[in-house]
């Protein structure tokens, strides 16, 4: 009995070795096998490992929200799946890591994730330490207020110094809204996550919550009838896919993947299935920035 | 160190806010701690039970949780801690009087938490007073309050001053948590914001923040050493 088992095990090992060898041959041959990515590139590495590590948010309705299923769901997650699919990595081999706003650059620099898709606004400061593919979506900052509040109509409503607004520490929206405040110390509250801001809005400690429209429309959807968006968006926030600085080939690859998805409808489907449910305005397809 | 000089105004503003916070919270903690200590040694059993329960709860719950209940539990109960908008005091400590309640919530959380430790430090001082003192005071007909006021507490205070100092120093460092519960612009978080949003180098600014805390804690430690030496002479 034992002998047969050992023989079987040896057989399996030999088989595995042969198979790996075959795989290697194919990619060396170039183009004809399972892997048709340039040798040594990030794409080849991920394709061979059949695994990709994705940083996303776990608390962002519509974009990346980890619910009872145990896996994050949303538009960002769908975009990550499109990239994984183009790399020929199966969906269940995507490893999700929670990346709140404050750690997104760090996890990329420390090589803890391969890409970050986490409502990540492209800006020059961040571009100095990491690279962005995309943008895959153009969001804009907006203001969430209680449904019966007519006193706030836009960012200018904060100029007289009485209305209080909440946002998240170390985020672009917090920096943006400061310009409109009469007195920062009396008007601005910052928390680590948006849910706390929404609680403060419910409790009446603040009059408004500000960040990108998509995030806010998620809260409008999850708290039926309690909140509404005040006024139009007042900034343009291009969302990009963060990746390690200097990996130009990988960036080009993701950009190509996105462009293909824009054209063949996979992008629109991803939107309609997730964040599009909360935001009925027409989806504008962004232009990829290849600079 | 150039980064510290460039951001000196931010760090100085943060230092001032943290100083205000710890000053007010220290007063709150000393008052609460003294009251609870009196409860714990009082001859009335229900008061003793309240005192013991208070210390058990607040000494054993993590400070983050106390902060959370203060910042999100009080509003749920409909309180904005407006009783802390003390007229006159809010002229010096401007954050006390503003509509945003998070500075007041932070004072409450720090005071409640530190109060439990102050109580135990004081009680250790009271235990250091020989039992004969309190017995003699009772024998000459002093009431419980008079006994405490004129005999026990003045002696207990001296023995408690060093552990009390450690408790207050720990509280100063704990105050850094306030920045995660809606207080904008305290020392550690305003410095941290310059690193993450402002893109300033981390290590010099973190050293700058540390120096800010040292400016608050080191003189306090020196003062305590002085008091301890004087007390030694007095004995």
The DSSP code sequence of A200-262 is: HHHHTS-SEEEEEHHHHHHHHHHSTTTEEEES---S-EEEEEEEETT-HHHHHHHHHHHHHHH
pLDDT at A31 over 70: no
Average pLDDT over residues A253-264: 91
Q: Do B72 and A191 touch (CB under 8 A)?
A: no
pLDDT (tens digit, 9 = 90+) per residue, B127-183? 999 989 999 999 999 998 899 899 988 888 888 888 999 999 999 999 999 988 888
pLDDT attached to residue B69 = 93
Closest residue to A203, CB basis, from B76, B179, B189: B76
**A23: pLDDT strictly greater than 50:** no
Instruction: With beta carbons under 8 A apart, name residues in chain B contacting A128.
Output: 199
Please say if the pLDDT value at position A12 is more than 90: no
> A202: burial class by Cβ within 10 Å (0-12, 13-18, 19+)?
middle
ipTM of the complex: 0.72
Closest to A167 in 3D by CA, of A158, A159, A175: A175
- Degrees (nearest 5) of the Cα angle B59, B62, B64? 135
As separate numbers, helices (DSSP H) first and strands (DSSP E) second, chain B gives 12, 0
> Stretch A144-154: mean pLDDT, rounded?
89
CB-based contact (8 Å) between A170 and chain B? yes
Query: Which pLDDT value is given to residue B233?
Result: 54
When pLDDT is cut at 50, 70 and 90, the band that residue A30 belongs to is very low
Quick check: A204 and B98 CB within 8 A? no
Q: Do B94 and A185 touch (CB under 8 A)?
A: yes
pLDDT score for A154:
86
Buried b (16+ CB within 10 A) or exposed e, A176-188: bbeebbeeebbbb
Residues 6+ apart with CB under 8 A from A141: A172, A173, A176, A177, A210, A211, A212, A213, A233, A234, A235, A237
pLDDT grade for A5, boundaries at 50, 70 and 90:
low
Considering only the beta carbons, identify the residue of B100, B185, B197 that sits closest to A205: B100
State whether residue A169 sits within 8 Å of chain B by CB: yes
Mean pLDDT, all residues of chain B: 89
Q: Do A203 and B94 touch (CB under 8 A)?
A: no
Residue A22 has a pLDDT of 47
* Cβ within 8 Å, pair A184-B184: yes
Give the pLDDT score at B234. 55
B214 pLDDT higher than 80: yes
Q: Rounded to 5 degrees, what are φ and ψ at A72?
A: -65, 145
Burial classification of residue B133, based on how many CB atoms lie within 10 Å of its CB (0-12 exposed, 13-18 middle, 19 or more buried): middle
Q: What is the pLDDT confidence band of residue B5, given thresholds at 50, 70 and 90?
A: confident
The partner residue sitting opposite B197, judged by closest CB among A170, A191, A203, is A170
Residue of A nearest to B189 (CA): A169
> Which regions of chain B does DSSP assign to beta strands (E)?
none
Residues of B in contact with A164 (CB under 8 A): 99-100
């Amino acid at each position: 009995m034992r002998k047969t088992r050992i023989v079987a095990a040896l057989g399996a090992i030999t088989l595995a070795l042969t198979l790996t060898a075959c795989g290697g041959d194919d990619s060396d041959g170039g183009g004809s096998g399972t892997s048709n990515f340039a040798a040594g590139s990030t794409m080849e590495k991920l394709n061979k490992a059949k695994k990709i590590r994705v940083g996303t948010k776990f608390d962002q309705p519509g974009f990346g929200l980890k619910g009872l299923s145990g896996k994050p769901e949303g538009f960002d997650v769908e975009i990550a799946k499109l990239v994984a699919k183009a790399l020929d990595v199966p969906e269940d081999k995507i490893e999700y890591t929670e990346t709140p706003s404050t750690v997104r650059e760090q996890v990329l620099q420390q090589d803890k994730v391969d890409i970050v898709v986490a409502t990540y606004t492209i800006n020059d400061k961040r571009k100095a330490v990491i690279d962005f593919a995309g943008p895959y979506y153009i969001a804009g900052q907006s203001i969430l207020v209680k449904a019966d509040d007519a006193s706030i109509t836009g960012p200018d409503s904060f100029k007289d110094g009485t209305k209080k607004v909440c946002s998240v520490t170390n985020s672009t929206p917090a920096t943006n809204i400061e310009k409109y405040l009469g007195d920062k110390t009396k008007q601005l509250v910052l928390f680590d996550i948006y849910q706390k801001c929404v609680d403060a809005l419910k409790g009446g400690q603040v009059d408004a919550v500000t960040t990108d429209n998509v995030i806010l429309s998620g809260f409008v959807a999850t708290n039926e009838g309690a909140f509404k968006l005040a006024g139009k968006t007042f900034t343009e926030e291009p969302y990009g896919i963060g990746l390690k600085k200097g990996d130009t080939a990988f960036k080009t690859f993701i950009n190509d993947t996105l462009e293909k998805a824009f054209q063949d409808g996979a992008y629109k489907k991803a939107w309609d299935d997730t964040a599009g449910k909360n935001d009925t305005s027409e989806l504008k397809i962004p232009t990829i920035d290849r600079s | 160190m150039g980064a510290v000089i460039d951001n000196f105004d931010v760090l100085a503003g943060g230092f001032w806010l943290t100083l205000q916070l710890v000053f007010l919270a220290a007063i709150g903690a000393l008052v609460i701690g003294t009251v609870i200590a009196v409860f714990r040694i009082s001859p009335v059993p229900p008061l003793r039970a309240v005192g013991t329960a208070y210390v058990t709860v607040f000494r054993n719950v993590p400070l983050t949780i106390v902060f959370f209940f203060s910042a999100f539990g009080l509003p749920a109960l409909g309180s904005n801690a407006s009783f802390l908008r003390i007229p006159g005091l809010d002229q010096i400590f401007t954050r006390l009087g503003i509509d945003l309640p998070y500075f007041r919530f932070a004072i409450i959380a720090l005071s409640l938490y530190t109060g439990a430790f102050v109580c135990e430090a004081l009680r250790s001082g009271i235990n250091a007073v020989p039992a004969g003192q309190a017995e003699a005071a009772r024998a000459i007909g002093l009431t419980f309050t008079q006994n405490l006021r004129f005999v026990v507490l003045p002696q207990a205070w001296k023995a408690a001053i060093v552990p009390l100092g450690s408790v207050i120093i720990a509280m100063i460092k704990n105050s850094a948590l306030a920045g995660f519960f809606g207080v904008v612009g305290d020392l550690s978080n305003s410095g941290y914001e310059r690193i993450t949003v402002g893109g300033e180098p981390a290590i010099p600014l973190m050293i700058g923040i540390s120096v800010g805390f040292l400016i608050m804690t080191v003189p306090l430690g020196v003062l305590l050493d002085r008091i301890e030496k004087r007390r030694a002479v007095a004995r």
